[in-house]
Structure 1
Amino acid sequence: MSTLTPASETRPAQREPVLHTVDRVCELCFGLFMALTFVGAVKAVSAGEAAGHKMFFSALGCNLAWGLADAVMYLIRTLADRGQRLKLILTIRQTRDNAIAVHTLRDALPKAVQPLVDDAELERVRARLASMPTVPSRASLGRNDLVGAVGIFLLVVLGTFPVALPFLVIKDITAALITSRVLTLAMLFAAGYALGRYSAGGGMKAGLLMVAVGVLLTIAIIALGG
């Protein structure tokens, strides 16, 4: 639930990023894991000079498909969340009993936040929602949402290239496979490091944890015949 800024307060306009740090890192990791899955199946590729090219385009095709699916699901999730917030606002505005409206607002808060907000604060929020001059009739998507979907698509797809590129430039499939997995683990460490710095969980710790997840995933893929 977003907070509303009182009319009496003026704040400089600040453009929010289309995708937050967690979104960017998670989508990049998703692309890496998807590509890693196909790289792990490299033994299934027919032998010959074209094996590397087949591996590259197989991984690229996989991430193109999943990038598109993930982008569409991002738009659906955004629209559903926006519709849920709009439903909450309409419920608050239509409720005649202020105490019930405040209780509805409290139920909409995350469980961890509820004890930190008292009824007086929620009443001020309720009053602001009730005094809003206009409310959209339905939830809709905007330009930034489409930009975000394109960003997700590109993150998932571009995560393929460092993993699959060695199969284009290294003729020996075994050497290409090793190089690909090293690059993947390096990128996973960078992604985990960024996520740890963002969440104050420790960059090195989060980076190593993400690498461990990648190693376990690779072992699982090999064990399954990759």
Structure 2
Amino acid sequence: MDTTMQAAGAEQETREPVLDTVDRVSELCFGLYMALTFVGAVSAVTAGEDAGRKMLYSALGCNLAWGLADAVMFLVRTLTNRDRRVTLAMAVQREQNPAVAVQALRDALPKALKTLVADSELEMIRARIAASPMLHTRVRLVRADFIGALGIFLIVVISTFPVALPFVVLSDVKTALIVSRVLTLVMLFGAGYALGRFSGVGSMRAGLSMTALGVLLTMAIIALGG
């Protein structure tokens, strides 16, 4: 097995999930808030026998559009970041002055890490980049990127149903609106719980904080006519 195949195998074994917990929770909350806002606005003007079905179709159409837009922007962001990393690596590889190359690496670090990484560590990275084979200048999207975009689209679309389905199941619009908002808050608690568990700050506290945020946003939606 040649070096390329070995590198590809190692990358496959260590590859991170396409969407991490923050990505998934963020997209879920985005879809919930979009659907909640849209349902609140439509419920104020929708009446009749098919009001619940119209509500579901309207909210679903809204999140289909936003899910598609968010998925496309995920691909754009992924390609842009990948291009930026390759451009930096090529600049470091071509730079003849090691000090200039190390400074370029330091400038690319997040602000919080600049004081934590020594020049000697950056020099080791520079040396590895300089010793690597010539990098490809053309970046492209791979299968995992499209899977991530599809995941974002599905999360946003699926988040519509807990918010909008009560209007199909329940005939009374006011009761359905209350059930819809309760389900939304339950899902927000679950989203906050997952974030707290991921970050280590405390699952219950994060869940309750996300729920409180949801209550405030729901109150704002009601105040604005939702």
TM-score (normalizing by structure 2): 0.92
Deviation per CA, 1:36-91: give whole Å up to 9, x if none: 10121143333111111111111100000000000000000001101110110011
Deviation per CA, 1:104-145: give whole Å up to 9, x if none: 111111111111111111111001111111312222110000
User: Which amino acid is the alignment partner of residue 28 of structure 2?
Assistant: L
Q: Does 1:168 align with 2:161?
A: no
Which residue is 1:48 aligned to? 48
Which residue is 1:3 aligned to? none
Distance 1:11 1:127 in 2: 21
Deviation at 1:149, TM superposition (A): 0.1
Q: Which moved more, 1:19-28 or 1:111-120?
A: 111-120
Which residue is 2:146 aligned to? 146
Which residue is 1:158 aligned to? 158
Which residue is 1:106 aligned to? 106
Q: Does 1:80 align with 2:80?
A: yes
Q: Which moved more, 1:208-217 or 1:156-165?
A: 208-217
Deviation per CA, 1:151-202: give whole Å up to 9, x if none: 0000000000111111111111111111100000000000000001101121
User: Which amino acid is the alignment partner of residue 25 of structure 2?
Assistant: V
Asked if the contact 1:45–1:55 (Cα under 8 Å) also holds between the matched residues in 2, the reply is: no
Between the aligned residues of both structures, percent identity stands at 65
Asked if the contact 1:32–1:184 (Cα under 8 Å) also holds between the matched residues in 2, the reply is: yes
Q: Which moved more, 1:130-139 or 1:57-66?
A: 130-139
Unpaired runs of 5+ residues, structure 2, are 1-6
Distance 1:12 1:211 in 2: 37
TM-score (normalizing by structure 1): 0.92
Question: How many residue pairs align between the two structures?
Answer: 218
User: Which amino acid is the alignment partner of residue 52 of structure 1?
Assistant: G
**Alignment RMSD:** 1.5
User: Which amino acid is the alignment partner of residue 108 of structure 2?
Assistant: A
Asked if the contact 1:45–1:51 (Cα under 8 Å) also holds between the matched residues in 2, the reply is: no
Distance 1:18 1:155 in 2: 14
Deviation at 1:12, TM superposition (A): 9.2
Asked if the contact 1:40–1:218 (Cα under 8 Å) also holds between the matched residues in 2, the reply is: no
Which residue is 2:59 aligned to? 59
Q: Secondary structure at the match of 1:45?
A: coil
Which residue is 2:194 aligned to? 194
Taking a change above 3 Å as real, the CA distance of residues 38 and 119 of structure 1, as seen in their structure-2 partners, is same
Distance 1:211 1:204 in 2: 10
Asked if the contact 2:43–2:55 (Cα under 8 Å) also holds between the matched residues in 1, the reply is: no
User: Which amino acid is the alignment partner of residue 132 of structure 2?
Assistant: M
Taking a change above 3 Å as real, the CA distance of residues 11 and 225 of structure 1, as seen in their structure-2 partners, is closer
User: Which amino acid is the alignment partner of residue 186 of structure 1?
Assistant: V
Bigger share in helix? 2
Q: Does 1:16 align with 2:39?
A: no
Distance 1:69 1:12 in 2: 29
Deviation at 1:11, TM superposition (A): 9.5
Q: Which moved more, 1:197-206 or 1:152-161?
A: 197-206
Distance 1:51 1:11 in 2: 51
Unpaired runs of 5+ residues, structure 1, are 1-6
Asked if the contact 2:43–2:173 (Cα under 8 Å) also holds between the matched residues in 1, the reply is: no
User: Which amino acid is the alignment partner of residue 73 of structure 1?
Assistant: M
